Structure 1
Amino acid sequence: MSDTTTLICAQSVIWLVVFGLCAVIALLFQRVRGFYRRIAPLGALAPTAAAIDHLPATRLLSLSGREVTAGGSRDDGRPQLLVFVSGSCPVSRKMVPIINDFARREHLSLLYCGDESDEAQKRTIAALGLSENGFVNDPAIGRLLGVDRVPFAVLLDPTGAVQARGLVNNLEHLESLLGVQETGYRSLQGFMTANPQALAG
């Protein structure tokens, strides 16, 4: 066999391998896209139903004794983000600085909430680096909004209507709460259920 024939055969084998790899990559891409279509709805996960769809203006006392308002119409026209956390929850500790930055960047009115004794909440504030002025301790709010795990966030529009809610374990979960303003759906789960072809193409 001549050197030219050997070279041609080697190149043919290489091209066959390249085409085979392209086919495998295309197949993997299709599989990944199908898998992503299944998991994409998992934005902020809302595990339980809320008792209310609108939170009227509720006057509460922060741990510092200052009166704060959750829900209702807001004079500043900003959405309000209620975040339920616990000092004993490592995810809460991780998420607090992310939540603070997110609320500041998106111009949200931020209020932290909890459901423990005042003494425990003061330890929570110390552990999470929060201010007593922006933390309320009231179990009733959590029950109304269907909070059963933390960290849990509820996004209210400027009138107090619940726009989105769910567990927030990362920045993407927080960002998914704002998605309802563009899609009109309260969760990415609802949007993907109504639009199964959203990721097609």
Structure 2
Amino acid sequence: MSDTITLLYAQSVIWLVVFGLCAVIALMFRRVRAFYRRIAPLGALAPTAATIAHLPTTFLRSFSGSEVTAGGSREDGRPQLLVFVSGSCPVSRKMVPIVDDFARRERLSLLYCGDESDEAQKRTIATLGLSESGFVNDAAIGRLLGVDRVPFAVLLDPTGTVQARGLVNNLEHLESLLGVQETGYRSLQGFMTANPRALTG
């Protein structure tokens, strides 16, 4: 009889511990959710300032020899996404398929850009699997837009105005470029400067 009572006590203690653990987990889950809501989502970071806020129609020569345009008023009325990459950058290799899918889904006119020797760019095109007709090698446009690291993306509206820009290491960074248009700030830094308490709720 005493063994039965001892077993019942032991089972009761075990169930109390289980219920206690469930209560602690539920409390932690609520705290984590509350904490997550207070954290502002981080977007693409722009480490340097752009020289211009509007890119006029710029005629460039693609690697295939065809003429392409960057900036200015676009006849198709679509925003343009300029993405600066390098074949020696492992993050660029990861981002190319993500960028391709993102631009197709959001109906953006996509142009890849680089700033290296022609020989290096041949390797870049081969390494990243890019189309020669959709890739330009021009140092001047990168300087105008404040590009100093890759992969770097610049979103232009259909008139050539810079809407958003910054380093892009994942899909969320790309999506944040579109989100910047809704806030009216061209970079995450601009938003945080105007809203210093954004991270503290």
TM normalised by structure 1 equals 0.83
Task: Please list every run of 5 or more consecutive structure 1 residues that lacks an aligned counterpart in the other structure.
Answer: none
- How many percent identity over aligned positions? 72
User: Aligned-pair distance for 1:184?
Assistant: 2.3
Instruction: Tell me how far apart the structure 2 counterparts of residues 115 and 100 of structure 1 sit (CA, whole Å).
Output: 20
**Paired residue secondary structure (1:72):** coil
The secondary structure found in structure 1 opposite 2:60 is strand
Structure 2 residue ranges without an equivalent (≥5): none
Superposition map of 1:1-201 within 5 A: 11=12, 14-15=15-16, 18-19=19-20, 21-23=22-24, 25-27=26-28, 29-30=30-31, 33-34=34-35, 37-38=38-39, 40-188=40-188, 190-191=190-191, 194=195, 196=197
SS at match of 2:142: helix
Name the CA distance, whole Å, in 1 between partners of 2:19 and 2:189: 39
Q: State the secondary structure of the residue aligned to 1:179.
A: helix
CA contact (8 A) 2:164 2:181 kept: no
Change (3 A) 1:116 1:36: farther
Aligned length: 199
Normalising by structure 2, we get a TM-score of 0.83
Report the CA distance between 1:11 and its aligned residue.
Answer: 4.9
CA distance in 2, matches of 1:21, 1:137: 59
After TM superposition, give the deviation of residue 14 of structure 1 in Å: 3.8
Structure 2 CA distance for aligned equivalents of residues 159 and 145 of structure 1: 16
| In 1: Cα distance, 2:58 partner to 2:189 partner | 29
Aligned residues of 1:43 and 1:189 also touching (Cα < 8 A): no
Contact 1:165 1:177 in 2 (8 A): yes
The one-character-per-residue Cα deviations of 1:39-96 (angstroms, maximum 9, x if unpaired) are x442112111111111111111111121111111111110000000001111111111
- Per-residue CA deviation, residues 93-149 of structure 1 (Å, 9 max, x unaligned), is 111111111101100000000000111111111111111111111111111111111
Taking the aligned partners of 1:142 and 1:27, their CA distance within structure 2 comes to 47
Aligned letter for 1:64? S
1:161-188, CA deviations, whole angstroms, 9 ceiling, x for partnerless residues?
1111111111111111111233323234
